[in-house]
Structures are given as structure tokens and as C-alpha cells.
Structure 1
Amino acid sequence: MFPASEIKRMIEAGLPCEFVAIEGDDGVHFTGIVVSGEFEGKMRVRQHQAVYSTLGKLMGNEIHALQLTTYTPAQWEEFQKTL
């Protein structure tokens, strides 16, 4: 089993992020929110690939699935207004 806290740490170490939240109770299936200025001008698939690249070979092995929601800082700010 892989801890969600380690996934969060790896993403933060590999990508400049304003916010990262990762959850997962079973140790192999996770969900997460990642906010990064690096996502500006990138399609959603490229944003997710940027996050997955921080996890390397763990994706598909120790980490069976990571369902992501990604935001640019401006998108995140707008989303926060809806809460």
C-alpha cells in the first residue's frame, strides 16, 4: 500500500504547485486536486501528464489509479468563489 501523503510530497517536489490535495483509503486508488501555474495554456491532458511525470514508474504499479482535477491559479480562485 502506498500513502497519499507520499504522492502529495512527490508532486510538490516535482512541480511548482500552489495547492495539492491527495486522498485514497485503499493505498492503490487515489483522487487529487493540483493547482499550478505550470498548467497555464496547456490542455487538460498535458496538465495531467505533468503531474503523472512527477510520480514516474509508480503510476500503474504501486499507484494503480490517480483521478486528477487540475486548475491554473486563476481557475482555482474562480472555483473557490463557488464554494
Structure 2
Amino acid sequence: MTADQLKHIISAGLACEHIYLEGDGRHWYAIIVSPEFEGKRQIQRHQRVYATLGARMQTDEVHALSMKTFTPAEWAQAQGE
């Protein structure tokens, strides 16, 4: 799987303002910014992202996904805006 494919899968299932991905095809690191994360704890945000991947996590198509998740306001603050 390529970064573009993974980005497309996540953004098709989750309204994202920003997605950054890097990885080797099986092990990924992501920064994901979504208004859908408002009012959710980190574990709930991660579960929401994993839900977009569905069976791809079980079939080992995506072996590992480490992520940082932000609301748009949190992202703006992290960027110093």
C-alpha cells in the first residue's frame, strides 16, 4: 500500500482537514486533523481512524499505524497560529 492509497482510504471515511503520512508500506506514522475529533479522547479518535481502515488492519495490509490526532483548533495551536 502506498501513502496516497492510505490517505485516500482514511479521507474517504473521515472528514480530514490535513493528513500527513510516512511509512514503508506496512508500518505507518500519521498526523490527522479532523473536526470529527471534537470532544473525543485520544483513544476514541484512534478508534475512529482504525474504523476507516476496517479489515485492512486484520488482514495485515496495514500492519501498524502510529498516529497523532488533532482537532482543527488543536492543530492551529500546535502550528503556532
TM-score, normalised by the number of residues in structure 2: 0.93
1:9-68 deviation digits (Å, cap 9, x = unpaired):
1111110111011111x2110000100010011010000111111111111411110000
Superposed, which structure 2 residues align to 1:1-83 within 5 Å?
2-24=1-23, 26-60=24-58, 61-81=60-80
4+ residue runs over 2 A deviation: none
- Match of 1:81, SS state, is coil
Give me the whole-angstrom Cα distance separating, in 2, the residues matched to 1:17 and 1:3.
Answer: 18
Structure 1 length as normaliser, TM-score? 0.91
What are the ranges of 5 or more consecutive residues in structure 1 without an aligned counterpart? Answer: none
Letter aligned with residue 15 of structure 1:
L
Q: Which runs of 5+ in 2 are unaligned?
A: none
Could you tell me the percent identity over the aligned residues? 49
